[in-house]
Structure formats: C-alpha cells, structure tokens
C-alpha cells in the first residue's frame, strides 16, 4: 500500500505522537518477551535523531476499560524501554487528561513519555455491548460511543504535531489511538516497522519470486478460511498441516479417530482441493501422521499412513510427510508460513513443526513468518534470525494476507 512513512516527512523540531504495540507478556512485573519492544526501537531511535520529543502510546492486555488496573499498567514497559535506550522514559499517570497535557507540554527535545494503557478507557475500542442494550436504543448507544471515541482520539492528537503508527499488530482495529486519531491530525505516517511489514507481506502477495510456497497450519480451517481462498489463486504450492489437515483427511473419506475436526467445513475442504486443481496449483496434505491415545506428553504414540483408530488422535505430521513438505520447501523462492504442523508446545509432538522450521530457515527463499503460533515455533527453535521477516502482526498479518483493508493503515497519509 502506497502510504507515507517517517522517511517521507520532515520531523525536525516536532513533537511526535507514536502508536506502538507494547502488548507484551508480563509476570510479576517482569517482561517475559520483549520482541515487540525491540521491534519498535529503530523507529524510536530514528525519530529522536531529528531533534524531536516523543509521546508513546500503547495498549496492554484486556482491562475492563473503567480505569486504572495495576496488572495492566505499562510502567514495567517504560522501565524496560529506559534500560534499552539508556535514557529515562517518563511514565504518565494516564493517556488523556489535564495532568498528561501538562507533562507533555514540558517535554524537551530528545525526551520521551510513555502514556498509560489506552484501554483503561472504554472509548479506545469504541465497542458497544449489544447484548445489554435494547434493539430500539442500539443506534443511539452506538452514536454516543462513537462521539466519545472521537473525543478521546482528538485529545490524543492534541499531544503532538505528527502521528506515527508503528503498531502493525493493532492496525486491523479501528481504535481511537490507531486510526480515529488521524481525523484530528494532518500528518499521519507509518513507522519503520509498519513500512517493513507492509513491504514484506505486500510483496509476498502481489509480486513474489517463484516458486511461491505457502505453509498453512494451526487448529482450524474456520480461522483461516479467507486466507486459504486468497492464497490458492496466488501460490504455486499450498502445504496444509496441523489440526486443520484432519478436516481435509475426513473430507476425503478417511477415518481420523477423535482428532480435532470441523464437520461443517468438510465441503469447504473439498472445494479448496478442487480450487487448487482448477487454478493448476499444487496442494500437499499429510501422507502420514503421528497419533496418540491421549492428549499429553506421556501418551502412547504411533505413526500411521491410513485411517486412525477410533480412540486415537492426530498430534503431528509423520516422517514421510516431513520429507515431502521439506523437499517442496527447498525448491521455493518465496515462503509464507502461518500455523504449526502439530501440537508443537509438547516436545514429543514438535518434530514436524521443528523440521519445517529448519527447512524454511535453511532455504534460499525469502521467508516470511506470518504471525501467531508460527512466530512462537520459530523462537522455540532458535531460528528467528535465519528468517527474512518474522511478522509482529498476529491477527493483523492474517487479515492483510487475506486481502482485507486495515483501518490503521488506510488512515495514514497517501504517498
């Protein structure tokens, strides 16, 4: 998408309001994974080199939206960012209000302030509880929430002269701090991370080097139905593994025991196979599976290439499938991977996912890890650095790859 980034504008002597995605796991005040914070550092450092002051805003977790909740405070993030930058990051008591305005107005060039969790205010998301409101009053309630959301967005916009969105992971949300804010500030551009995400994911879909291989896994077809429909026309080969492959297996008349299955999507599975044939695309499904008699690490396991026994369930792809998938991956020039090949969180069932991860890492292809559990798998294997691009997007990555417009991207200035 042809949107302006911070490299397209003059930042000098301005106060920048920047949306980041610092929604990181925190336990007992300690950050357990700072990947998203590290991903934002290049943009933060770029901005500070231009004689600017910087206002950072983010959400964290799912607070109630009725005020401050200590377990969802961004204070640990501000402290960690201070350490990474080797300079003080001021922690604000809120994200809007007179005290915040006062603190921000006193910022000098080179100084940074971290606003408190934007979701401490229900206006951030603009969500309406439709179940608790009578249908006759719903429209009025929605209009009221929209006005409150715009008021919050305007307060955030008033904190600076330029809005930078570097939070690709929240770009699929039309929230006050991600897209509505752009109604009240003239200059709205993407950060370096946003630009990188759009370039890699966009190029993978629009102009990939071929062969283009997409590896799609995870538990359910339903969560990735639009992605499958989008990719089947664009890839050269579609590899399907994980829990969703059992729905395909059953659709083809095979017995899958007590494996996870979406019976209402058996027809869709067959349609996907038919679409691959129609468009002349190769589609690879598991030819053997590791199955277990219970869903735990100490279960009895066996590898089967045909029907599953009634009381057993699929937990991973088998050795023959690993060889089949990895051989196809080795031929690729562009690889998109979204979703594990099995229950990789349990070590005995992680072989398929790990093997695919190594094959992608060792290939000469442009390798794009499209968010979600695939990112966790790559980190678990210690191979993040060998991938061309590991997306921070999660749901945003998925929606972008499906071809959907992301409000947080659409709202930025056109280039």
Catalytic positions, written as ranges:
36, 220, 372, 395
Closest of 275, 284, 266 to residue 229, by C-alpha: 275
Number of helical (H) and strand (E) elements in the chain, helices listed first: 13, 17
Task: Take residue 82 and report the two structure tokens written for it.
Answer: 């201070």
What residue ranges in 58-184 does DSSP mark as E strands?
Answer: 89-91, 112-114, 162-165
Distance CA 260, CA 219 (A): 7
- Written as six digits, the tokens of 324 are 């089949």
Nearest to 319 by CA among 292, 364, 291, 287: 287
Q: How many CA atoms lie within 13 A of 5 on its CB side?
A: 17
Each as own residue / partner, the long-range contacts of residues 72-75 (CB below 8 Å, 24 or more positions apart, any chain) are: 72/117, 72/119, 72/120, 73/116, 73/117, 74/22, 74/114, 74/115, 74/116, 74/117
CA distance 47 to 165: 12
Alpha carbons 368 and 312: distance in angstroms, whole number: 34
Going along 217-274, which residue ranges are E strands?
A: 237-240
Is the Cβ–Cβ distance between 89 and 81 less than 8 Å? yes
């Amino acid at each position: 998408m042809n949107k302006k980034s911070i490299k397209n504008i003059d930042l000098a002597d301005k106060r920048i309001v920047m949306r980041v995605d610092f929604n990181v796991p925190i336990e007992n005040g300690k950050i357990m994974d700072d990947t998203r914070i590290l991903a934002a550092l290049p943009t933060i450092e770029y901005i500070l080199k231009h004689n600017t002051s910087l206002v950072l805003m983010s959400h964290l977790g799912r607070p109630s939206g009725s005020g401050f909740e200590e377990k969802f405070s961004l204070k640990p993030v501000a402290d960690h960012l201070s350490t990474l930058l080797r300079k003080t990051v001021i922690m604000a008591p809120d994200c809007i209000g007179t005290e915040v305005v006062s603190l921000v107005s006193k910022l000098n060039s080179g100084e940074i302030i971290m606003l408190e969790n934007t979701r401490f205010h229900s206006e951030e998301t603009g969500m309406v509880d439709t179940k608790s409101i009578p249908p006759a009053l719903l429209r009025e309630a929605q209009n009221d929430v929209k006005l409150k959301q715009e008021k919050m967005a305007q307060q955030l916009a008033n904190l600076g002269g330029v809005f930078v969105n570097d939070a690709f992971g929240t770009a699929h949300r039309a929230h006050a701090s991600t897209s509505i804010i752009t109604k009240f500030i003239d200059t709205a551009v993407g950060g370096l991370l946003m630009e990188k995400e759009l370039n890699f994911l966009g190029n993978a879909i629009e102009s990939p080097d071929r062969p283009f291989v997409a590896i799609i896994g995870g538990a359910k077809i339903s969560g990735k139905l639009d992605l499958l429909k989008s990719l089947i026309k664009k890839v050269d080969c579609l590899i399907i593994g994980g829990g969703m492959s059992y729905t395909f297996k059953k659709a083809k008349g095979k017995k899958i025991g007590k494996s996870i299955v979406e019976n209402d999507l058996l027809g869709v599975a067959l349609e996907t196979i038919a679409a691959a044939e129609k468009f002349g695309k190769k589609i690879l499904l598991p030819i053997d599976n590791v199955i277990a008699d219970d869903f735990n690490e100490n279960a009895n396991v066996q590898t089967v290439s045909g029907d599953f026994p009634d009381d057993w369930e699929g937990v991973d792809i088998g050795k023959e499938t690993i060889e089949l998938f990895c051989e196809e991956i080795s031929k690729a020039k562009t690889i998109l991977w979204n979703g594990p090949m099995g229950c990789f969180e349990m070590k005995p069932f992680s072989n398929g996912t790990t093997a695919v991860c190594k094959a992608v890492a060792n290939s000469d292809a442009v390798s794009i890890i499209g968010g979600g559990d695939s990112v966790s798998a790559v980190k678990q294997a210690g191979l993040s650095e060998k991938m061309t691009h590991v997306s921070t997007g999660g749901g945003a990555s998925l929606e972008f790859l499906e071809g959907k417009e992301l409000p947080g991207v659409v709202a930025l200035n056109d280039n």
